[in-house]
Amino acid sequence: MGTWKPTACILCECNCGVEVELGGEDGRRLVRLRGDKRHPSSRGYACEKAHRLDFYQHGRDLLKRPLRRRADGTFEEIDWSTAIREVAERLARVRDTFGGESIFYYGGGGQGNHLPGAYGTGTRRALGSWFRSSALAQEKTGEFWVSDRVMGTATRADFEHCDVALFLGKNPWHSHSIPRARVTLKEIAKDPARTLIVVDPRRTETAELADIHLAVKPGTDAWLLSALLAVLLEEDLVDRAFLEAKVTGEAGVLEALRAVRIGEACSRAGVDAALVRKAARAIGRAKSLASFEDLGVQMNHHSTLVSYLHRVLIALTGSVGRPGTHYVPSPLVALAGGASRRKSPVAGATIVSGLVPCNVIAEEILTDHPKRYRAMIVEAANPAHSLADSKRMREALAALDTLVVIDVAMSETARLAHYVLPAATQFEKAEATFFNFDFPENYFHLRPRLFPPGEERLPEAEIHARLTEALGVVTEADYAPLRAAAREGLEAYAGVFLSTVLPDPRLSAQAPVLLYRTMDVPDDVREGAVVLGLCFRMAMESTQALARAGFAGAPMEAALALFRAIMTNPSGVVFAVGEWPEVLGRVKTADGKLHLDLPDMVAELRRLEGDPPPALDPSFPFVLSAGERRSFTANTIIRDPAWRKKDAAGALRISPADAARLGVGDGEPVRLTTKRGSLVVSVEISDSMQPGHVSLPNGLGTDYPADAGVEAVGVAPNELTAVEDRDPFVGTPWHKYVPARIEPLPATPR
Ligand SMILES: Nc1nc2c(c(=O)[nH]1)N[C@H]1C(S)=C(S)[C@@H](COP(=O)(O)OP(=O)(O)OC[C@H]3O[C@@H](n4cnc5c(=O)[nH]c(N)nc54)[C@H](O)[C@@H]3O)O[C@H]1N2
Ligand SMILES: Nc1nc2c(c(=O)[nH]1)N[C@H]1C(S)=C(S)[C@@H](COP(=O)(O)OP(=O)(O)OC[C@H]3O[C@@H](n4cnc5c(=O)[nH]c(N)nc54)[C@H](O)[C@@H]3O)O[C@H]1N2
Ligand code: SF4
Ligand SMILES: [Mo]
């Protein structure tokens, strides 16, 4: 038997703690995995996907050495010093010719790795790069924008203790996003006193467990929610005390809701009005409501309005600040934010949480505009696959003066790069995620590396340190005093760091690199050095929560104790303990109340009455949801199609009625066509689908080196999507509502 080591699963945002038995000839195979009972959040839980993580560590297209593209499009291997020198020179030339703001940064982390983004700030500042984005700007920015205006902050909900659980366009059975999702869902489902409500056109695995499944017609959630809220008002199921004490500016939205014709709105949403009333009563009478909106509504028509109506529901039912309702998390790093004063340079798009909407990136490159992006650094992301309209995205990436990709594998984006820099995998370096949203106990998990990097891969921390050194912004002279202090111990080091680095703008801009280069820490957690800065901030801002978690004392003392705990607890640490009565105090509006007076959203709501539901062109009679989460999907984190134990082909799900009408049988190929593309895919006939709605998995159709050349299994959803199909306010894409046509094909003879 080999040794078991703690780490985390990196396949979804939960990052469950797992223990791995290492084996194989070189001790680098992830032979067996099990949930780690010591992990503060997952407590031994892990789903089926974690057991297949060896496919990530042993992909055939894992990068080995830096690559430089030749004129003919092929790649040659180069050594690290050449790679760093040339990348720094080329990016510096773009900066000096067109300004640093023409260098765009995309990514910074995926589902389990957020330290690259922290270290990447060093390189970005050295280059004067300001505009950036990530996948969050094609899903969560609408919710962030609305939440920020209503509450000055975002919320999460306590499903473990709720009376009623509501999922809007979310299938947590497969997509998780809440700790120990299946355990929690089953507990709610089996308790007759608790109610599970699912709003989803498909009878998903979560909907199967639900007490009430509101099977909306795709793209009509705004009507459904307006009807549900109107019932709450009509039947006086609102929390008046909460409204009076904690909510302001509600008059306009309440008036608009009172005008909603409930029967009409339900029929537009395709849902029985009696069932909507039943749901509204369950919600209105509940002691506590926990709710979660996700991609089914966030990547769909009226997405910002739905996010707003969701906040209205939370406000009307007083679902904040009590066990089983919403809370305001205290993450180590704040990912959610509001709109910037600045707009994107070419399209003038609203920037939320510092992120340019993903759907405008291509148009900010493919133009003669003097402020266009000329170079791009892509780190731990695969935009050539994951952004709308892959064809256009490929054109945009090809039009750049310089594209640098930092990845572990030869992704679709890496194939288009001028330079590909091979990063150590998430098991070859210390890593952590900033998706820390638990409450009352919040945790942080710095995973020590399982083994050193293979081949010539380097951790991103090292890559960015070398880049900033090559750019000349930090030198050995800057390191020397910190190194000397490090030899005296952590207290001395922290003292020198605070007194010399923070007051100096040049040095503080490079704080992550300085910490990484000079701190005295063991090799297996070296990349965790940057976390010291976060510990200081937490100790200043959340003194009480930290003290309850055992990190008491003056800020310096608490910060260092927390940092030591993080560096020495390989299964994670509870760093903050909140209390429910504090939650409303974390609402960041001037008067501490929830502000419902968002005139643009109320106007949208009023328009709904007159608006017809999104209509389909007769030549594209199906609604395609492009990118469903299934049992074996994980964005493009694992590229080997063999990892998928179920649904190996990544089939298009279609209702039995539609399949019969088209004359296609289970497993047979069809041609799937949208205004942007046409692909062949095999179908899975599923009675979970409503007629007129079809669904493709996400993350498939990636190229993978197989024995007989490169193969791609399933289809890449964004070959079919279009950039202009997006939310008018914040630009999030309508990936779950892609008008499509399906034509049967003769089955291929075997
Ligand atoms: N297995 C697995 N888990 C994952 C991931 C993964 O790739 N694989 N990815 C992770 C990531 S990055 C994210 S963001 C989350 C996303 O998690 P989810 O949002 O749960 O994922 P999806 O399956 O894309 O979409 C959810 C549901 O939206 C429904 N839907 C489609 N159209 C509509 C509509 O018009 N109205 C409503 N109400 N619903 C609609 C779909 O039927 C689907 O069940 O999952 C995370 N977890
Ligand atoms: N049509 C459609 N498109 C979608 C979606 C959809 O539902 N439908 N969902 C969207 C959503 S919610 C999301 S979150 C995005 C996800 O899309 P992206 O954010 O682009 O993420 P991934 O596709 O997972 O790409 C992650 C990359 O990181 C690399 N990687 C893995 N580990 C490391 C590491 O340690 N270091 C480095 N440097 N690289 C590493 C992987 O090889 C991979 O190339 O897709 C979005 N795109
Ligand atoms: S895929 Fe998500 S829920 Fe499943 S084990 Fe990994 S982190 Fe946990
Ligand atoms: Mo996502």
pLDDT digits (tens, 9 = 90+) for 223-251: 999 999 999 999 999 999 999 999 999 99
Specify the pLDDT at position 747. 60
- Backbone torsions φ then ψ of 197, nearest 5 degrees: -120, 130
pLDDT at 746 over 80: no
What is the mean predicted confidence (pLDDT) over 82-106? 98
Residue with CA nearest ligand 2 atom 22: 636
Residue with CA nearest ligand 2 atom 17: 386
Residue with CA nearest ligand 3 atom 8: 16
Dihedral, 39, 44, 48, 54 alpha carbons, nearest 10? 50
Q: Is the pTM of this model over 0.95?
A: yes
Specify the pLDDT at position 715. 96
Q: Return d(Cα 464, Cα 456) in angstroms, integer.
A: 15
Mutate to test the pocket of ligand 2, among 635, 640, 725 (most ligand atoms within 8 A of CB): 635
What is the mean predicted confidence (pLDDT) over 576-584? 96
Distance (angstroms) between ligand 3 centre and the Cα of 14 equals 6
669 three-class SS: strand
pLDDT at 464 over 50: yes
651 three-class SS: coil
* Ligand 2 within 6 A of CB of 110: yes
Q: Which pLDDT band holds residue 8 (cuts at 50, 70, 90)? A: very high
What strand order describes the sheet that includes 164-168?
A: 212-214, 195-199, 164-168, 289-293
Residue-wise pLDDT for 237-292, tens only, equals: 999 999 999 999 999 999 999 999 999 999 999 999 999 999 999 999 999 999 99
Strand 67-69 versus strand 441-444 pairing type? unpaired
* Ligand 2 within 6 A of CB of 486: no
- CA 123 to chain CA centroid, Å, is 23
**CB 144, CB 407: distance < 8 Å:** no
Distance (angstroms) between ligand 3 centre and the Cα of 365 equals 36
Q: Which residue has the tokens 């339900």?
A: 266
Q: Which domains does the chain have, with CATH numbers?
A: 3-57 (2.20.25.90), 67-130+374-433+441-577 (3.40.50.740), 141-330+592-605 (3.40.228.10), 616-744 (2.40.40.20)
pLDDT at 707 over 90: no
Q: Half-sphere exposure of residue 557, counting CA atoms within 13 Å on the CB side?
A: 6
pLDDT at 725 over 60: yes
Q: Which pLDDT band holds residue 615 (cuts at 50, 70, 90)? A: confident
- Backbone torsions φ then ψ of 159, nearest 5 degrees: -75, -25
Specify the pLDDT at position 603. 97
Distance (angstroms) between ligand 2 centre and the Cα of 699 equals 8
Residue-wise pLDDT for 315-353, tens only, equals: 999 999 999 999 999 888 888 899 999 999 999 999 999
Specify the pLDDT at position 750. 46
Residue-wise pLDDT for 467-523, tens only, equals: 999 999 999 999 999 999 999 999 999 999 999 999 999 999 999 999 999 999 999
Q: Which pLDDT band holds residue 748 (cuts at 50, 70, 90)? A: low
Q: Which pLDDT band holds residue 749 (cuts at 50, 70, 90)? A: low
Q: Return d(Cα 716, Cα 699) in angstroms, integer.
A: 7
Mutate to test the pocket of ligand 1, among 141, 200, 696 (most ligand atoms within 8 A of CB): 200
Distance (angstroms) between ligand 4 centre and the Cα of 116 equals 17
Specify the pLDDT at position 335. 86
Residues lining ligand 1, CB < 6 A? 12-13, 139, 168-171, 174-177, 199-202, 204, 216, 218-219, 221, 294-297, 300, 625, 627-629, 633-635, 698-699, 736
**CB 356, CB 132: distance < 8 Å:** yes
Residue with CA nearest ligand 2 atom 21: 381
Q: Which pLDDT band holds residue 2 (cuts at 50, 70, 90)? A: low
- Point out the ligand nearest to the CA of residue 183: 3
**Share of residues in the chain with pLDDT > 70 (%):** 99
Distance (angstroms) between ligand 3 centre and the Cα of 560 equals 31
* Ligand 2 within 6 A of CB of 123: no
* Ligand 3 within 6 A of CB of 320: no
Residue-wise pLDDT for 596-606, tens only, equals: 999 999 999 99
Distance (angstroms) between ligand 3 centre and the Cα of 184 equals 14
pLDDT at 1 over 70: no
77 three-class SS: strand
**Number of residues that this document lists for the chain:** 750
Distance (angstroms) between ligand 3 centre and the Cα of 176 equals 7
Cα–Cα nearest to 624, from 718, 742, 733, 740 = 740
Per the prediction, the chain carries an average pLDDT of: 96
Q: Return d(Cα 696, Cα 654) in angstroms, integer.
A: 9
